[in-house]
Amino acid sequence: MSADIAAIRQFNRTVTRRLGVLNEKYLGRDRPLAESRILFEIGSKGAPVRELRERLGLDSGYASRLLRALERKGFATTASKAGEDGRAKFARLTRSGHTEVRRLNALSDDLAQSMLEPLTREQAARMVSAMTEVDRLLRASGIELTPVDPRSAGAQWCLGRYFDELSSRFPEGYDHGADGATDLDDFRPPRGCFLVASLFGGSVGCGGIRTLAPRMGEIKRLWVSPQVRGLGVGRRLLEALERVGRERKMRRVRLDTHESLTEARHLYRSSGYKEIAQFNDNPYAHHWFEKTLE
Amino acid sequence: MSADIAAIRQFNRTVTRRLGVLNEKYLGRDRPLAESRILFEIGSKGAPVRELRERLGLDSGYASRLLRALERKGFATTASKAGEDGRAKFARLTRSGHTEVRRLNALSDDLAQSMLEPLTREQAARMVSAMTEVDRLLRASGIELTPVDPRSAGAQWCLGRYFDELSSRFPEGYDHGADGATDLDDFRPPRGCFLVASLFGGSVGCGGIRTLAPRMGEIKRLWVSPQVRGLGVGRRLLEALERVGRERKMRRVRLDTHESLTEARHLYRSSGYKEIAQFNDNPYAHHWFEKTLE
DNA sequence: GGAAATATCTGACTAAAATCAGGCAATGAG
DNA sequence: CTCATTGCCTGATTTTAGTCAGATATTTCC
């Protein structure tokens, strides 16, 4: 275990030295690195200022200043989107901003190339596959679960994605209205809890637990963003929700699922859930599960 | 290939975001990060100021300032070592500097721990082994070969290590004097060339080529530091020296080696060298090789 | 011994990164 | 309609990082 920690520290040292040097050399050449980073984050489709700040971990004043600098240089514009919250602003790249991002992308490619160059073909292949693995697992380990109000922006965003996905995966489609009007307040303390999984300031999953009856909980709305599937986020959410249930003195938790959601069914089975008889009249449920909490 | 580059860029993004945040959170809490880094580099045994500067890539003025700051805070002292070059200074930790480094080490361990924590046992094991691999190969790709004067500090340092190693590996020991006084000037242009391999500002390997006769070169002093063995540095040095030979219009290169240096012999064979009859009277040589340059 | 080179230090300076307090406009709850 | 909140902006200010041109002391080369 302590050998693991030594290995991670060694990795940390090497990587920050090597990437730090290269990043500055390639991307911070004639402009502050923070400006390049924010240009990247805006991306071709633009992004809400709010999100830029969160993703890069910037103070709102500082973020504003950087955007203003980009505006002065003619690389980006920010404006509030018509129809949406007029306070929130949205940053977009201008034409020359796009050009600039392409230039940065080319530099970034050179940077990557320069890391491969000195290696033999075999070493390069091994490095790339190890990097892919580290990237995957580092993202997994960077995901944090936070209890939030189910009406909060993050929770709402996840639920939106979740319902979209149900519509596209259920052969019969999905109508949120028909899904027995679930009261969001059920997922707020003290009757329940709603968790959001987040990575680098963005939401990548959610799940809620509510009280069905005394000592009996129900888990619903368990969703994991496609970009982080296979990293064990679903299981972490499930286990965290069960922990909440235990704290609330629940003895059993139930949940239901649609036939087409096979990964979910697999997750539930392997987490100790047993299939039981139908316990509700959810028109989209085909399987009903229950687990006794220790 | 372009997929490889995309993978590296993704790795770069994830890693700088994740490690950057954690490093600042853990190590830069109440002091500039550069100060923490320099404290680390001084280490428990102390270090020459020169080396600190090189390892961290700092301007001499800036390094001096940082050391002064640490001195003011009572964490380190710098003084010239008695008996050694009076211009060069040596930095040491004070008692409270040691305490501070221990504190930083503990934080660093926590940091590593925090990366493992959210993962399952299996994921953690995979991440650690992938990190070890990335670290190895990133160090390999960070190694640069530079032609230098064989009398330069870097070259001399490597040669010192090299001769030390010969003394400890040859059963009969090694006396540099007996090794047919090789003139260092032979390895300077235009008659020859001396390469040093360096990583993060430190020297980790070397090798030289000189002119034995018109159109005939000899490679000598090929050495790779134990800390970077197995990364292909020896082969890179050898190939670079051959390239120099080609540029100098040499048609063939020769070299000799001691019986006990089996890895070297393996390297030469697999690089296209053929064993030939004894061509010199080096008392420490048992095998003589030659390769025709294309 | 004198000139050139080396190793560090100092002062003056700049740029980048970041924080803080206050301000304004849009929004939402009551 | 009012008032607290939210999202962003501005000006003032600080900290961190880094550069550059000498200054000083020591060593090395001739």
Least Cα distance to B257 among B238, B229, B278, B235 occurs for B278
Interface probe for B, chosen from A5, A8, A105, A271 (most Cβ of B below 10 Å), is A8
Shortest CA gap B145–chain A (Å): 10
* Closest-CA residue of chain B to A2: B109
Q: State the pLDDT at residue B178.
A: 62
Do B185 and B176 form a contact (C-beta atoms < 8 A)? no
Q: Residues B161-219: pLDDT tens digits?
A: 898 898 899 888 887 766 655 677 788 878 889 999 988 777 899 999 999 999 999 99
Contacts of B54 (CB under 8 A, 6+ apart): B201, B202
Confidence tier at A177 by pLDDT (50, 70, 90): low
Do A53 and A60 form a contact (C-beta atoms < 8 A)? yes
* Residue A126 buriedness (CB in 10 A; 0-12 / 13-18 / 19+): middle
Q: Determine phi and psi for B185, rounding to 5 degrees.
A: -65, -20
Q: Is A108–B143 a contact, with Cβ atoms under 8 angstroms apart?
A: no
Confidence tier at B120 by pLDDT (50, 70, 90): very high
Measure the CA–CA gap between A46 and A169, rounded to whole angstroms: 28
Do B153 and B50 form a contact (C-beta atoms < 8 A)? no
Do B147 and B198 form a contact (C-beta atoms < 8 A)? no
Distance D1 C1' – A168 CA (angstroms): 45
Measure the CA–CA gap between B11 and A108, rounded to whole angstroms: 12
B18 at interface of A, judged by CB pairs closer than 8 A: yes
Measure the CA–CA gap between B100 and A152, rounded to whole angstroms: 42
B 149-208 → A contacts, CB under 8 A: 200
- The rounded mean pLDDT for chain B is 88
| Domains, chain B, ordered by start | 2-118 (1.10.10.10), 144-292 (3.40.630.30)
Q: Is A134–B127 a contact, with Cβ atoms under 8 angstroms apart?
A: yes
Do B130 and A134 form a contact (C-beta atoms < 8 A)? yes
CB < 8 Å to A131, chain B = 7-8, 11, 130, 134
Half-sphere exposure in the Cβ direction for B92 (13 Å, CA) = 7
Contacts of A262 (CB under 8 A, 6+ apart): none
A135 at interface of B, judged by CB pairs closer than 8 A: yes
Q: What is the mean pLDDT of residues B115-144?
A: 92
- B/e letters for B128-143, b = 16+ CB within 10 Å, e = fewer, are bebbbbbbbbbbbbbb
Distance D15 C1' – A62 CA (angstroms): 14
Q: What is the mean pLDDT of residues A68-86?
A: 86
Highest-scoring range by mean pLDDT, A77-86, A172-181, B49-58: B49-58
Q: Is B12–A113 a contact, with Cβ atoms under 8 angstroms apart?
A: no
Does residue A120 register a pLDDT over 70?
A: yes
Bridge partner residues of B219 (DSSP): B209
Does residue B28 register a pLDDT over 70?
A: no
Distance of CA A291 to the CA centre of its chain: 27
Do A237 and A228 form a contact (C-beta atoms < 8 A)? no
Do B83 and B127 form a contact (C-beta atoms < 8 A)? no
Q: State the pLDDT at residue B182.
A: 67
